[in-house]
Amino acid sequence: MTTDEIKKKYLDFFTSSPRDHKQIPSASLVLENDPTTLFTSAGMQPLVPYLLGEPHPLGKRLVNSQPSIRTQDIEEIGDSRHTTYFEMLGNWSLGDYFKKEQIPWIWEFLTEVLALPPKKLYVSVFAGNGDVPRDEESYKIWRKLGVASDHIFAYGEDKNWWSRAGTPAQMPAGEIGGPTSEIFYEFTGVAHNKKFGNECHPNCDCGRFMEIGNSVFMVYKKTNRALEELPNKNVDFGGGLERITAAVNDDPDIFHLPVFGEIVKHIEDLSGKKYGKSEKETQAMRIVADHMRAAVAMAQEGLEPSNKLQGYIMRRLIRRSVVKMNTLMGKTTATDFGKITQTKPILNEVDRFSKTLQKGLREFEKLPKVDGEAAFNLYQTYGFPLELTLELAHEKGQKLDPKDFKEAFKKHQEMSRTQSAGKFKGGLADVGGETTKLHTVTHLLHAALRRVLGNHVSQKGSNITASRLRFDFTHHSPLTSEEIQKVENLINDQIKKSLPVSYAMMSLKEAKAAGALAFFTERYGDKVKVYTIGDDDSWFSREVCGGPHVTNLSEIKGRVKITKEKSASAGVRRVYAKIIT
Ligand code: SER
């Protein structure tokens, strides 16, 4: 079976009776109004407001397939089953069904629709911690389905707890999470490798087992003090489409799937090496195949390699691919990569970086001493992997201790971890709070700009964090201070009037007929969500938008101030604004 066939079967299964889910469109890889993470990393991410309790326009049972990117283990890519970019099959209950429906349904899908042999499936349940009890209910449901007791494992919060931040202790205030029940597939003919521990078990990393699905019982929200129960008992299921396909094919190497096949074939042709022959070369090929697939997905979203945020991740993926191609084929060029992808921003980066690498080699020659910090700098600046530096150092008759490199590496890693933890925390606590307020202010700003400057103004992009909003729009000249003043006054007058904010579902045609602005259309099947600020017969703003928003402008509790105005690109202006309380 192919990934597409399995995706269709899953969506059909969950939309059909008695499950009756509504299919929601997949979100883009970079979420417009979520400052908490760089990329969409799970299907639940765009659904956070609804898991927190806001009603979803399509109801309480949702299903989709969500392209996702996980960057936390870029350095670990190279085994048979981890990838940076993947597609996640997901189904959600927003306070509707719970364990006794979810577990049998997912079992039915795997064992009947996909015909996976029940004996090859293992499951896990939460073993409990000081605050949340052991999940006996899930255990009993699995047993009732006929799963043998030696196929059910209980793990603690490091394995059977899910939140975007990790364990309960790692969750910042505002983050949601809960205990999980996972499903694993046991591949035929893969023996346990003692390198990964004496005993093999479903969560062992030796490659015999692979996790193919995770039902999160999303019932908790972290507060400043403890875990608090959410108003709704939610289910958040996610299953890696590529992994489920590997299980159906009983082939433990997901790089054998056609989605990777073509890239792997190009790498083989370019390097003259054979996939699967030597462990080291196979690993390098997987890294290039994975990173290129992810970088192409990013390029398709309009991202370009840069030194910041998403662009930085994209740059790292491309650079690492170049380094790995170098180890496979000696010197590599953009022309070689042109066989793998036609994407301009990627090829430009390959070109720039291969030249930098050559320069790095010359710099290296000049280094008086190759110590840990120097090796790290070579790694950081020129993408030199440690093995390469060791080999060169060796040629120069110098001794470099890999431990020194690792220490320097750890020091820098900790620094960047602290920085990203700060970012994560800052944003997350405010999903549904400050970010939501500023999202509503964005609509007010859009409407006010059109009234003051004219109807040629249309939104080109926006970016909202907990402390400010950024808004790009079409306009030919800088705003004068009078214009800025007028826009601010108009916005603040509406806030003072405590206008209501409401939404309705309609077709895009009806939305346009009702006067809604529709530049970014998030669709819910054939319907769109239209937010109105003001009364139905005399509104101030009406826009097609996914939400969330405040329900009344009085919740903004402050005055809006435009803090900066500048050019974003030709014919596009950029303003920053914040709420002053
Ligand atoms: N959010 C959970 C995960 O990503 C289940 O969808 O694993």
CATH of the domain at 117: 3.30.930.10
Peptide bond into 231 cis (omega under 30): no
Please state, in angstroms and rounded to a whole number, the distance separating the CA atoms of residues 5 and 11. 10
Q: Which residue has the tokens 């970014």?
A: 520
Residue from 124, 126, 162 to probe ligand 1 pocket by mutation (most atoms less than 8 Å from CB):
162
Confidence band for 430, pLDDT divided at 50, 70 and 90: very low
| Cα 234 to ligand 1 centroid, rounded to whole Å | 12
Q: What is the pLDDT of residues 206-245, one digit of tens each?
A: 999 999 999 999 999 998 778 999 999 999 999 999 999 9
Domain end among 356, 385, 419: 419
The residue whose CA has the least distance to atom 6 of ligand 1 is 238
Confidence band for 170, pLDDT divided at 50, 70 and 90: confident
The better pLDDT of the pair 204, 330 is held by: 204
**162 Cβ below 6 A of ligand 1:** yes
Closest atom, ligand 1, to C-alpha of 44: 1
State how far the alpha carbon of 156 is from the alpha carbons of 35, 124, 126, 134, 186, in Å: 30, 10, 6, 9, 21
Does residue 82 sit in the same domain as residue 229? yes
Helix axes 279-300, 258-271, angle to 10 degrees: 120
Peptide bond into 548 cis (omega under 30): yes
**238 Cβ below 6 A of ligand 1:** yes
pLDDT at 128 over 50: yes
The mean-pLDDT minimum among 25-34, 438-447, 520-529 falls in: 520-529
Rounded to the nearest 5°, which phi and psi values hold at 294? -65, -45
pLDDT at 418 over 50: no
Residue 471 lies in a domain: yes
Does residue 250 sit in the same domain as residue 274? no
Does residue 549 sit in the same domain as residue 438? yes
Closest atom, ligand 1, to C-alpha of 215: 5
**Strand bridging mode 161-163 / 152-155:** unpaired
At 152, the amino acid letter reads I
**44 Cβ below 6 A of ligand 1:** yes
Q: What is the pLDDT of residues 348-370, one digit of tens each?
A: 999 998 888 888 778 777 777 78
Does residue 500 sit in the same domain as residue 543? yes
**181 Cβ below 6 A of ligand 1:** no
> Is 502 buried (19+), middle (13-18) or exposed (0-12) by CB count in 10 A?
middle
| Cα 73 to ligand 1 centroid, rounded to whole Å | 16
- DSSP annotation of 342 reads -
Does residue 342 sit in the same domain as residue 280? yes
DSSP calls for 53-79: TPPPTT-SEEEEEEEEE--TTGGGTTS
Domain with residue 489: its CATH number is 3.30.980.10
State how far the alpha carbon of 228 is from the alpha carbons of 48, 97, 129, 136, 361, in Å: 16, 20, 15, 20, 55
**CA 550 to chain centroid:** 25
- State how many domains the chain has: 3
| Cα 481 to ligand 1 centroid, rounded to whole Å | 48
Please state, in angstroms and rounded to a whole number, the distance separating the CA atoms of residues 374 and 371. 5
Does residue 315 sit in the same domain as residue 205? no
Closest atom, ligand 1, to C-alpha of 42: 4
Length of the chain: 581
Kindly report the pTM of this predicted structure.
Answer: 0.75
The better pLDDT of the pair 337, 509 is held by: 337
Residue from 14, 164, 214, 235 to probe ligand 1 pocket by mutation (most atoms less than 8 Å from CB):
214
Q: What is the pLDDT of residues 384-414, one digit of tens each?
A: 767 778 878 777 777 888 888 888 777 766 6
| Cα 163 to ligand 1 centroid, rounded to whole Å | 8
Does residue 395 sit in the same domain as residue 463? no
Burial 465-495 (b: 16+ CB within 10 A, else e): bbebbbbbbbbeeebeeebbebbbebbbebb
pLDDT at 503 over 80: yes
| Long-range contacts from 11-17, C-beta under 8 angstroms, 24+ separation | 11/63, 11/64, 11/65, 13/105, 13/108, 13/109, 13/113, 14/61, 14/63, 14/91, 14/105, 14/109, 15/63
Please state, in angstroms and rounded to a whole number, the distance separating the CA atoms of residues 370 and 361. 13
Domain enclosing residue 335, as ranges: 270-419
**237 Cβ below 6 A of ligand 1:** yes
The stretches of 218-329 forming alpha helices (DSSP H) are 241-248, 258-271, 279-300, 309-329
How open is the CA angle 117-66-239, to the nearest 5 degrees? Answer: 25
Residue 97 lies in a domain: yes
Does residue 22 sit in the same domain as residue 47? yes
Does residue 144 sit in the same domain as residue 196? yes
- State residue 524's pLDDT score: 55
Closest atom, ligand 1, to C-alpha of 162: 2
Residue 174 lies in a domain: yes
Residue from 44, 72, 184 to probe ligand 1 pocket by mutation (most atoms less than 8 Å from CB):
44
Does residue 408 sit in the same domain as residue 369? yes
Residues 67-83 have a mean pLDDT of: 86
- State residue 76's pLDDT score: 77
Residue 474 lies in a domain: yes
Residue 426 lies in a domain: no
Q: What is the pLDDT of residues 3-15, one digit of tens each?
A: 999 999 999 999 9
Closest atom, ligand 1, to C-alpha of 43: 6
The residue whose CA has the least distance to atom 4 of ligand 1 is 42
Residue 203 lies in a domain: yes
Does residue 349 sit in the same domain as residue 327? yes
**236 Cβ below 6 A of ligand 1:** yes
Residue 10 lies in a domain: yes
Please state, in angstroms and rounded to a whole number, the distance separating the CA atoms of residues 518 and 344. 30
Q: What is the pLDDT of residues 547-570, one digit of tens each?
A: 778 889 998 999 999 999 999 888
**216 Cβ below 6 A of ligand 1:** yes
**Residue 553 contacts residue 497 (beta carbons within 8 Å):** yes
The residue whose CA has the least distance to atom 5 of ligand 1 is 238
**High-pLDDT (> 90) share of the chain, %:** 63
> Is 337 buried (19+), middle (13-18) or exposed (0-12) by CB count in 10 A?
buried
Domain end among 354, 389, 419: 419
Residue 23 lies in a domain: yes
Q: Which residue has the tokens 């189904």?
A: 91
CB atoms within 10 A of CB 78: 16
Domain end among 201, 220, 254: 254
Does residue 275 sit in the same domain as residue 237? no
Residues 298-318 have a mean pLDDT of: 89
**High-pLDDT (> 70) share of the chain, %:** 93
Please state, in angstroms and rounded to a whole number, the distance separating the CA atoms of residues 387 and 367. 17
